Amino acid sequence: MIPQRFGSLRVYVHPDRASMGSAAGAAAALTVRRLIDENGAANVLFSSAVSQLDCLDALASDKVIDWNKVVAFHVDEYAGMPITHPASFRRFLLDNFLFKVAPRQFHGIAGENPDPAAECARYTSLLNEHPPGLAILGIGENGHLAFNDPPVDFNDPFDVKPVTLDEKCRRQQVNDGAFASIEEVPTVALTVTISRLMRVPRIVCVVPGVRKNEAVKRTLLEDVSPDCPASILRTHPNAELHLDAEAAALLDAGHLTKTGARR
C-alpha cells in the first residue's frame, strides 16, 4: 500500500480494523527486529489502550523477534492507582501483551507512588538509560497523545510529568469500558510528554474506530497546533499513521489523493 503524506507523516488507510492492526503490527515488528540487529536490544514505548489491541496481537505473533532482547516502557498511568486495579495501564499491557511475549524487562510507571514528582523523575531516568527506539501510539478522542490533553506545550521541558485530565479524555475512558462512570475516572495521571515522544526516532501510530474520526481529521487537516496535540506527528521525520475506514471517514477522497501536493 502506498501511503499518503501529510507533512512528513505517512498515512495508511485500511479497509477494516483487522487489516489495520496487521499492517501496523508488521511495521512495528520490522522496527523491533532492526533495532535488535543494529543495537543488540530494542527499547520500545507502548500505549495501553483497547485501540492498540489489533496491532499488539499482530506484533505478538511475530516469530522472529527475540523478546529477551526487548525492554518495554509505557506512556502513561493514573496517579494513585496500583497495578492491581482493573483500569491500571500497566495491568492492561501486561495482561493483553507483555505476558504473551515475555520481554527481558518491563519498566512501569508506578502510579501508586505517593510522590508523583519523584516517580516522574525516576521514569525519566529510566528513559534516559534505555532510550526508546520505537513508540507505538494512539490518538485520543480529544486529539491527545499519551495523556497530553490539549492545549499542550510542544517544547515541554519535562520528559514525564503529572497532568490533569480533561473531561473529554475522562469520558473516553468510560467509552472504552475501563470505568462505569466519569466520576470513577481519576483526574490526574503521569504521562510521557509530547517533547519526549517526539524524540523517539520511530513512531507507529494506530487509530481505529468512528469515535476517533474527528480527532483524525483535526490531526491531518488543521494547522499543527497545541490545541490538537497529535497534529505534531506531521512534523516527525519517521512516523506513520494506520487508520481503519471508520477512523478515516471524515477524510474524503480529495484529501487522500491530493496530500502530496497540498501538505
Does residue 263 carry a pLDDT above 90? no
Confidence bin at 262 (pLDDT 50/70/90): very low
What is the CATH number that goes with domain 9-243? 3.40.50.1360
Q: Structural domain boundaries of the chain?
A: 9-243
Largest CA distance in the chain: 51
pLDDT tens for 120-178 read 999 999 999 999 999 999 999 999 999 999 999 999 999 999 999 999 999 999 988 99
| Mean pLDDT within 239-261 | 78
Instruction: Give the pLDDT confidence score for residue 2 in this predicted structure.
Output: 82
CB 146 within 8 A of CB 38: no
| Mean pLDDT within 228-240 | 99
| Mean pLDDT within 51-57 | 98
Does residue 259 carry a pLDDT above 70? no
Does residue 231 carry a pLDDT above 60? yes
Sign of CA dihedral 242, 229, 224, 73: negative
